[in-house]
C-alpha cells in the first residue's frame, strides 16, 4: 500500500515536470519569447489544477443534466460530456501555448 502511494506520487511529479518542459518546448518552437521556469511552472500548475478541475466539474454537471434532466441515455450523456470536456480542454491548452 505504501509503495503504491509513493509510486503514484513519483509518477505525478514526473508527469508535471514533463508537462512543464513540453510546454516550454512548444512555446519555443512557436517563436515566443523565453519566460522564466517559475512563470511557466505556475502557468502549467494553474492549468492542471484549476482549469482542468473546473472543466471536469462543468462537464460532470452537463452529464448529470443530460441524463437526469433531459432523460438521455447514460451512454449518450457521458459521451457528450466527455466530448465537450476534451474540446474545451484542448482549446484552453492551445490558448495557453499561444499566449505571449
pLDDT at 79: 97
Q: How confident is the model at residue 20 (pLDDT cuts 50, 70, 90)?
A: very high
94: containing domain: 2-98
- Cα angle value 15/18/24 (rounded, 5°): 145
Question: How many other CB atoms are found less than 10 A from the CB of residue 85?
Answer: 19
> What is residue 70's DSSP assignment?
S
Res 1 pLDDT > 80: no
3-state SS assignment for residue 34: coil
The tens digit of pLDDT for each residue in 33-61 reads 888 999 999 999 999 999 999 999 999 99
What end-to-end distance do the CA atoms of the chain give, in Å? 44
pLDDT at 18: 96
The tens digit of pLDDT for each residue in 73-93 reads 999 999 999 999 999 999 999
Domain count, the chain: 1
Amino acid at each position: 500500500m505504501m509503495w503504491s502511494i509513493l509510486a503514484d506520487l513519483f509518477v505525478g511529479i514526473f508527469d508535471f515536470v514533463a508537462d512543464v518542459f513540453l510546454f516550454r518546448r512548444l512555446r519555443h518552437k512557436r517563436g515566443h519569447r523565453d519566460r522564466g521556469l517559475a512563470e511557466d511552472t505556475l502557468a502549467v500548475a494553474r492549468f492542471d489544477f484549476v482549469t482542468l478541475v473546473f472543466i471536469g466539474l462543468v462537464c460532470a454537471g452537463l452529464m448529470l443534466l443530460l441524463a437526469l434532466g433531459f432523460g438521455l441515455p447514460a451512454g449518450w450523456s457521458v459521451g457528450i460530456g466527455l466530448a465537450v470536456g476534451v474540446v474545451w480542454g484542448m482549446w484552453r491548452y492551445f490558448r495557453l501555448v499561444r499566449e505571449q
